[in-house]
């Protein structure tokens, strides 16, 4: 337990080991640690950025989806409207056509009816005159009675 | 055990004596054979065992860490690199929290102290008679020495030369940084203006020698306490191991009991050796920080 040169020897050894550690051990290890920390930091930042990008992409995707849906709904609406319009138009034209055909038929019927009436009327005057001639067995003055007969025929 | 020819006192003494190589009074150099030889050598001697183990363990520390440092990459670290980085970051955190100045040396020094002192303390956990016995056999059969003259202390930190040698280095650094950071005048002021100070010039001049004495004691106490704390703790631990080892010679029951005690004390000692290494490192950092601090309240 007495003091001797060991004391000096240990001082020198201590100084040498401090120097060696300072020169050869501390810097490379600290460098590696710092570099790894930086890498991890970068990695985390990148992950954050990627996450944000993903969020943005999702947002824009939903936006686009909504737009597409809106557009599709618009197109369907327009198509529906157009369809009803076409149907209406078709209905309208059909009704018009029907009316037209009906009117034409009615006009023809009326025409036919009038023609028949005229014919009947003229035939009736002759028939009445011939009948009256037969009944009276006398000659009837065609001129004297034609007025009366015409009046009669007009009443039919 | 060291053999039947030894009494208990001799056994203890044998364990507490260093393997000493030094200059005899007649001028020739050689190994000391007994305590008288060591006394004769006085200062001109080396404790070959403690200094050798100290340097050997320091070299282990250096090559272990250097091997990692050379291959250190920022990629996924291997197991060894993880352990080394754990130690390095632990030291770095401690230094950063206690030492707020720019100095390239303090952190590596703290790492050296932590690992080296831990290694030196760790020698205490190796079975107390194992290495001395091997050394004894080696000395006896390979070198033809008297086995009773082969002294071998394996725990360098139980040698005050070692602990105080390191503390002296720290002390020199304290002086160096105090002088360079504060300047000679600032350093002198720090030593002479506290703890008693006065605005009265005459009174201040009167106070100065008192302050100087107090502060110088304070200054000297730093390295002394630093070295002796480590030495005392480890020496006491070693002593208890030796005393427990004495029980092996006292019959089967006592030997078994001694074995159990040895294990218990070794488990407890794990705490002490780590703690002492840590304390030595922390105090060194604190002293460095104090040497750097200028113009602050004391």
Residue B23 inside a domain? The answer is: no
Total count of domains within chain B: 1
Chain A residues close to B81, C-beta within 8 Å: 32
B69 reaches A (C-beta below 8 A): yes
Q: How far apart are CA B231 and CA B163, in angstroms?
A: 6
Chain A residues at the B interface, defined by Cβ less than 8 Å, are 1-11, 13-15, 17-18, 20-22, 24-33, 35-36, 38-39
The long-range contacts involving B248-255, CB below 8 angstroms and separated by at least 24 positions, are B248/B1, B249/B1, B249/B8
Residue B49 inside a domain? The answer is: no
With both helix axes pointing from N to C terminus, report the angle between B8-16 and B201-246 in degrees, rounded to the nearest 10.
Answer: 130
B94 reaches A (C-beta below 8 A): no
pLDDT at A144 over 50: yes
Which of A15, A16, A32, A35 to mutate to probe the B interface, most B CBs <10 Å? A32
Distances (CA, A) of B113 to A18, A111, B117, B265: 8, 134, 6, 24
Q: A42 vs chain B: nearest CA distance in angstroms?
A: 13
Residue B14 inside a domain? The answer is: no
Cβ of B20 within 8 Å of Cβ of A18? The answer is: no
Residue listed under structure tokens 């005392």: B232
| Cis upstream peptide for A64 (omega within 30°) | no
Residue B10 inside a domain? The answer is: no
- The residues of B that are catalytic are 225, 229, 233
Residue B157 inside a domain? The answer is: yes
Helix, strand, or coil (residue B47)? strand
Residue B34 inside a domain? The answer is: no
Q: A49 vs chain B: nearest CA distance in angstroms?
A: 22
ipTM for the predicted complex comes to 0.87
pLDDT tens for each residue of B193-203: 877 777 778 88
Cβ of A21 within 8 Å of Cβ of B109? The answer is: yes
pLDDT band at B3 (very low <50, low <70, confident <90, very high): very low
Residue B28 inside a domain? The answer is: no
Distances (CA, A) of B234 to A95, B18, B35, B49, B122: 120, 15, 22, 16, 10
What pLDDT does residue A1 have? 55
Distances (CA, A) of B32 to A89, A128, B2, B138, B158: 130, 186, 19, 17, 19
pLDDT tens for each residue of B134-169: 888 888 887 777 777 778 888 999 999 999 999 999
What is the average pLDDT score of chain B? 87
Q: How far apart are CA B234 and CA B124, in angstroms?
A: 8
Contacts of B164 (CB under 8 A, 6+ apart): A3, A7, B223, B224, B227, B228, B231
Q: How far apart are CA A101 and CA A106, in angstroms?
A: 9
**At CA B181, angle to CA B178 and CA B183, rounded to 5?**
80
The whole domain housing B80 covers 54-292
Chain A residues close to B85, C-beta within 8 Å: 29, 32-33
Instruction: Please name the member of A4, A14, A33 whose beta carbon is closest to the beta carbon of B22.
Output: A4
pLDDT tens for each residue of A109-129: 999 999 998 888 888 888 888
């Amino acid at each position: 337990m007495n003091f001797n040169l060991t004391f000096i020897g240990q001082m020198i050894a201590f100084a040498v080991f401090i120097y060696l550690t300072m020169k050869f051990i501390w810097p490379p290890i600290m460098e590696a640690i710092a570099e790894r920390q930086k890498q991890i930091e970068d990695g985390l930042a990148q992950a954050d950025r990627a996450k944000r990008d993903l969020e943005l992409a999702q947002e824009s995707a939903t936006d686009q989806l909504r737009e597409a849906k809106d557009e599709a709904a618009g197109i369907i609406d327009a198509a529906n409207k157009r369809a009803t319009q076409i149907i209406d138009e078709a209905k309208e034209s059909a009704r018009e056509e029907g009316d037209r055909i009906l009117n034409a038929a009615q006009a023809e019927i009326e025409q036919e009816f009038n023609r028949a009436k005229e014919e009947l009327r003229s035939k009736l005057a002759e028939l009445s005159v011939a009948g009256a001639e037969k009944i009276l067995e006398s000659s009837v003055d065609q001129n004297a009675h034609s007025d009366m007969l015409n009046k009669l025929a007009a009443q039919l | 055990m060291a053999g039947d020819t030894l009494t208990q006192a001799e056994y203890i003494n044998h364990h507490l004596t260093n393997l000493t190589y030094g200059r005899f009074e007649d001028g020739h150099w050689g190994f000391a054979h007994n305590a008288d030889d060591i006394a004769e050598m006085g200062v001109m001697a080396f404790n070959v065992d403690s200094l050798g183990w100290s340097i050997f363990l320091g070299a282990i520390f250096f090559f272990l860490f250097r091997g990692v440092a050379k291959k250190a990459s920022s990629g996924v670290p291997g197991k060894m690199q993880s352990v080394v980085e754990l130690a390095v970051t632990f030291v770095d955190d401690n230094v950063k929290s206690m030492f707020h100045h720019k100095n390239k040396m303090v952190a590596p020094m703290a790492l050296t102290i932590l690992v080296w002192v831990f290694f030196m303390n760790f020698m205490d956990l190796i079975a107390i008679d194992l290495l001395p016995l091997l050394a004894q056999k080696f000395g006896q059969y390979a070198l033809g020495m008297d086995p009773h003259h082969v002294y071998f202390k394996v725990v360098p930190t139980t040698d005050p030369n070692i602990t105080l040698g390191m503390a002296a280095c720290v002390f020199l650094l304290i002086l160096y940084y105090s002088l360079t950071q504060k300047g000679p005048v600032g350093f002198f002021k720090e030593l002479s203006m506290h703890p008693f100070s006065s605005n009265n010039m005459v009174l201040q001049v009167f106070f100065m020698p008192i302050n100087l004495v107090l502060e110088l004691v304070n200054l000297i106490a730093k390295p002394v306490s630093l070295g002796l704390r480590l030495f005392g703790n480890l020496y006491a631990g070693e002593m208890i191991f030796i005393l427990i080892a004495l029980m092996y010679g006292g019959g089967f029951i006592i030997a078994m009991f001694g074995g159990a005690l040895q294990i218990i004390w070794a488990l407890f000692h794990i705490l002490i050796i780590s703690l002492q290494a840590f304390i030595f490192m922390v105090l060194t950092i604190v002293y460095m920080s104090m040497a750097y601090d200028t113009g602050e309240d004391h």
